[in-house]
Structure 1
């Protein structure tokens, strides 16, 4: 660890003080395979064992259960990720402060998204999406409001949880 040496001249005496730089926790990226230790395709049992998620909505008769990331919970009445009975962790929805490895997150401009992902496509329903760089089995989908990313979904191509 680098040390910073600061010399102080106080009342004619020279004193040396060392200080260690602050260590900032690095925020995990949303992609290309997951978010931190929660990975796309991971079973509910394995995802729960990471200690990073909390159940919000049991699957019941449906194919998917809704969860939140402990460190980045979704707002009231919302979920931050879906786990499919068939494919495991299927979709992770970006929350404030989460970014892709290319630096895209909520609030990024449409221009920034186009620059980061030049292969963007638009579905017949109007959803802008692209294959995740480094993971051909996953996608990013973007919804905009006033030219800014309002929602960002990161999911498996074969997911069965959301449209």
Structure 2
């Protein structure tokens, strides 16, 4: 958790080699439901999934090698992170470790970038604040994962991370 919080503070910038994904829009003529960020993953990409299995989904694209870090940075094809950023980290030890929300991505409780602090508190009554001032909560339905939130000065979610408690990618 502490590792994710620092990465979240970095705003999803390339920290330990990572970048964030974006969500594809569904045409109005189609009623296909957008995937939710949680409780186990984002669409076909699941927390804990090995790099090989995640690549086999066809939903991610490599962005940055791990180098000395235990993790590599990737993007979701449908939601690529901006230049110099990644959308998810894959750990050599634990697999898909952290997914950083991009515009249009929402948790099953409806929280995403731009949600208000009031909405986050209502959706997650167990929300806690770290000593560094980062809001975090265990993911409902998945006790092995967490959400972490950073807000704008206006009280809107500007960063949302979804990760494994045991992740080793960001610190």
**TM-score per shorter chain, which class?**
0.7 to 0.9
* Local SS of the residue matching 1:140: strand
- Deviation of 1:23 (Å): 2.4
1:58 aligns with 2:65: yes
Structure 1 alignment gaps of length 5 or more: 1-20
Task: Give me the whole-angstrom Cα distance separating, in 2, the residues matched to 1:88 and 1:106.
Answer: 25
Task: Return the TM-score normalized by structure 2.
Answer: 0.82
- CA RMSD of superposed structures (Å): 1.0
Partner of 2:167: 159
* Unmatched tracts of structure 2, length 5 or more: 1-27
Equivalent residue for 2:78, pick from 68, 71, 96? 71
Task: Give structure 1 regions of 4+ aligned residues with deviation exceeding 2 angstroms.
Answer: 21-25
Say which structure is richer in helix.
2
> Could you say what secondary structure the match of 1:105 adopts?
coil
In the superposition, the TM-score normalised over structure 1's length comes to 0.86
Of 33, 40, 50, 2:40 maps to 33
Q: Secondary structure at the match of 2:54?
A: helix
- Deviation, 1:44, is 0.4
> Which residue of structure 1 aligns with residue 17 of structure 2?
none
Return the alpha-carbon distance in structure 2 between the equivalents of residues 114 and 130 of structure 1: 10
More strand, by proportion: 1
Question: For 1:1-163, what aligned pairs fall within 5 Å after superposition?
Answer: 22-145=29-152, 146-163=154-171
**1:14 alignment partner in structure 2:** none
C-alpha separation between the residues in 2 aligned to 1:69 and 1:23?
Answer: 21
Structure 1 or 2, whichever has the larger Rg, is 1
SS at match of 1:115: helix
- Length, aligned pairs only: 143
